[in-house]
Structures are given as C-alpha cells and as structure tokens.
Amino acid sequence: MLSDKSVSKLIKLEAKRQAEGLELIPSENYVSVDVLEALGSVFTNKYSEGYPGRRYYGGQEFTDQIETLAIERAKKLFKCKFANVQPLSGAPANLALYTALLEPGDTVLGMDLSHGGHLTHGHPVTFPAKIFRFVRYKMKDVETGEIDYVELEKVAKKEKPKIILAGFSAYSRNIDYKKIVEIAKSVKAITVMDASHIAGLIAGRALRNPFDDGFDVITTTTHKTLRGPRGGMILVRDSEEIIKKVNKAIFPGLQGGPHMNNIAGKAVCFAEALTPAFRTYAKQVLKNAKAMEKVFKKHKIRMIGGGTSNHLILADVFGSLGVTGKDAQTVLDEVGITLNMNVIADDVRSPMDPSGIRFGTPALTTRGFKEKNCEKVAEIMIEVLKNKDDKKIKSEAKRAIQKLAKSHPIPKRFG
C-alpha cells in the first residue's frame, strides 16, 4: 500500500475503472501481477548504459543477466538471431530504426496513414518526416483490404527506398510478406515490419511470422497483443551488420540508460508468451474478432477491408448509421465500452471527428471472453449506436456491460 494517499487513491480509481468497463481499444491489454512486480522492482534504481558485458558503470552483475535473459527469450519467441530490448517504446524503436539504417534525405516506403499506417511511419507532424522522405502505398480495394502490390512495386522502382515498411495500427487484413520481400530485393531495400499491434498474435503463432517469409527486421511495442510492460523492441532476423547499427543507434545514438525494471518486465512477458496457454489466447483473440465481425455483417455495417483477419475491426459508423466516430466513441463510453474514433480510408471527415471507430478483442480475450460474449458486446454496441439518444436503452446496455465485466474479472495470472 502506498503511503502517498493522493496517488494511491488515483491508482484505486483507475483499477476500478478498468475492472468495471470493457476495454475494446485494440492496442490495450492487461499485464499479469508478475509483470507488474518486475516493473516495480529495484531494477528501477540502476543505471546500466551500454549492453551486457559492455557497460559504463559498475555493479552490473544482475542487470547483465536480466537483459540477456530478455534478449534470449525474445529471440526464441520470434525465431530470430538478434534482439535489442532497450527501446523505451514503439515510437522510439522506429526512430532508432530510421537512425540506424538511413542518412538524412533517404527514402522510406510505407503504408498510407489513412489506409492503416502509423504516425511514426512518416506523418508530416512527426520529426522523422522532416529528416527523411516518406512515400506511400495504399489498399487497392478498400472493400477487401487487399494492398495494392502493383502500385507498391511501381513506387519502389521509381523512388528507390532504403526501407520498405510494412505494419499498421488500423488495418484488419494480412500482409503478403513474400511479395514485399520480392519487391524489396529488386530495389535492394531492407524490409521492416512494424508489428506493434500484432506481435502477440505472431508470437502466439496465430498469424504468420514475417521472418519466415524473409523479412529483415521487426520493430514492435511490447504492451499491445504481446501483453507485456509498456516498451519497445527491435528484432533482426540474421544480419549482424543491421543489429550492430541498431544497437549503436539506440545507445549512444538516441537513448541514455535503459529502463532495466522495464526490461525485467519484458523478460517475464516473453516467458508468458512462450507458453501453450498464450497460443490458445492468441487464437481466441482472432476467433473473438470474427464473432464481432459476424454481428456487424448481419447488421450491414460497413467494415473497412470488408471484415477482419486479425484482432481489430474498423467500422464506418458514419457511412452506415449516420453516427460520427466521435459521437460513437462518446455514447459507447457512457455505457462502459471504451474504444476510439478513427479515420477510415480516404475519409471525407476530419481526424477530430472522423467517420470510423476502431475496436478489437485483445483485452476482452485476456478477461476470458469467448465468441458468444463478444457477439453480445457487438449487439449491444450496435443497439446503442442506433439509439444513441434513448436513455432507457442506454441504461439497459450499461447494466448488461457491467454484468459482463463482473462475470469476467481481470485475471492476475494467465493460463
């Protein structure tokens, strides 16, 4: 128990909020008490600039061991030769990657933001966009979600990118990694998958591992489907040259001392992800998303990409129901469902009040939700969106959500 009453009170209130509502933001999850304990451990007291065996300060007997443990587990989990577990989060991991592999002015080919790519893939508001040149590929058909590989190849041949970047934060279909590797080879580009959203699904063998199809690098967060502490990581399939550059870019290039308590938390998370129970979890995340897709289809609500092959759904609620993304987010929040408004491909509305909502099943699945429960949540969502000014329907929905939350407590440990 904290002796700081003000902070303690806020922690309790946040815990209550998390327990009583349903979390559908596809980038969120719950960690085990073991990860929390590692995060709150005395490793937070220690400076350890450098890498295992090559540190600048003394007293590194146990930091070396904990970082090596995290690296070894990460390599086993993603079937690769090298890993750097020091990136402080996903955005710093991507910045480190650009720093490692590019000179100012070099070109990166990545997925268009409104078609599912991430801010850190060169959005004009970000600092890397001032230093490097970002060019884009898109979906060929928004209704099926298939990426336009012909256009991707054309742009690659014309722009000669140093990096071809795959990965997304709002895309619900699978990527043809082999095709991208083939195109990259023809222009001598390095292939990088930003797997932040689906790292847990790859680790849990529910989705393909880009390394199996020849990708060179994976960058990722550790706190989304992977269900670990907030943090980032860079994995390299087999190139010693690339990992050397990555290591230098992270320290001393961009970061100071690694957050060793966080690395301890990552080590615990990777061990959890190596268990059979985690594979079952990853598969269930997909099944649950399919169950929600079925309900949205039944109600004829347009989904970008026509549905989902992963953990998330992007629904055009403005086009289908006349409710804006912002209003949808607000009214669902009122009944205890947390998700986020999101731009859809080629959105006619503004990012502050877009046409879509984005939601997913990683957190619900951690709470033990199965297909039937997820169908029920989807039905409630649609009912509320169709009757967003009806107080009676909303209070009934709120009660039903609270009941579901109560019967599926957040687990302390998994498996």
Ligand X SMILES: *Cc1c(COP(=O)(O)O)cnc(C)c1O
Catalytic residue annotation: 47, 49, 194, 221, 224, 230
φ/ψ of residue 376, rounded to 5:
-60, -45
What gap in Å lies between CA 318 and CA 312, rounded to an integer?
A: 18
95 vs 331, which CB is nearer to ligand X? 95
Q: Which of residues 255-284 bind ligand X (CB under 6 A)?
A: none
Stretch that binds ligand X, among 83-91, 173-181, 182-190, 391-399 (CB under 6 A): 83-91
x/- letters, 203..222, toward ligand X (CB under 6 A): ------------------x-
Rounded least distance, CB 231 to ligand X, Å = 7
161 vs 232, which CB is nearer to ligand X? 232
Rounded least distance, CB 224 to ligand X, Å = 6
Which tokens sit at 112? 């268009």
By the rule CB under 6 A, 197 interacts with ligand X: yes
By the rule CB under 6 A, 167 interacts with ligand X: yes
Rounded least distance, CB 189 to ligand X, Å = 19
Place of tokens 């268009």: 112
By the rule CB under 6 A, 86 interacts with ligand X: no
Stretch that binds ligand X, among 37-45, 104-112, 162-170, 273-281 (CB under 6 A): 162-170
120 vs 209, which CB is nearer to ligand X? 120
Stretch that binds ligand X, among 90-98, 181-189, 346-354, 358-366 (CB under 6 A): 90-98
What gap in Å lies between CA 115 and CA 88, rounded to an integer?
A: 27
What gap in Å lies between CA 80 and CA 354, rounded to an integer?
A: 39
Please report, in range form, the residues annotated as the binding site for (6S)-5,6,7,8-tetrahydrofolate.
113, 117-119, 240
x/- letters, 10..39, toward ligand X (CB under 6 A): -----------------x------------
Rounded least distance, CB 96 to ligand X, Å = 12
What gap in Å lies between CA 319 and CA 132, rounded to an integer?
A: 36
Place of tokens 């327990």: 19
Stretch that binds ligand X, among 128-136, 166-174, 179-187, 288-296 (CB under 6 A): 166-174
Rg of the chain on CA atoms, in Å:
21
Exactly one of 23, 153, 194, 272 binds ligand X (CB under 6 A); that residue is: 194
Place of tokens 């949808």: 328
Exactly one of 91, 180, 242, 314 binds ligand X (CB under 6 A); that residue is: 91
Stretch that binds ligand X, among 171-179, 194-202, 249-257, 388-396 (CB under 6 A): 194-202
By the rule CB under 6 A, 169 interacts with ligand X: yes
By the rule CB under 6 A, 323 interacts with ligand X: no
By the rule CB under 6 A, 173 interacts with ligand X: no
**Strand 54-55, strand 50-51: pairing:** antiparallel
Closest CA to 109 of 61, 148, 164, 176: 164
Cβ count near 87 (within 10 Å): 28
**Size of residue set near ligand X by CB under 6 A:** 15
178 vs 230, which CB is nearer to ligand X? 230
Rounded least distance, CB 170 to ligand X, Å = 8
x/- letters, 215..254, toward ligand X (CB under 6 A): ------x----------x----------------------
Please report, in range form, the residues annotated as the binding site.
113, 117-119, 240
What gap in Å lies between CA 146 and CA 214, rounded to an integer?
A: 20
x/- letters, 378..407, toward ligand X (CB under 6 A): ------------------------------
Asked if 98 and 192 touch (Cβ cutoff 8 Å), the reply is no
CA of 42: how far to CAs of 54, 86, 222, 259, 265, in Å?
A: 21, 17, 21, 11, 12
x/- letters, 97..136, toward ligand X (CB under 6 A): ---------------------x-x----------------
φ/ψ of residue 151, rounded to 5:
-65, -40
Interface residues with ligand X (CB under 6 A)? 27, 89-91, 94, 118, 120, 167-169, 194, 196-197, 221, 232
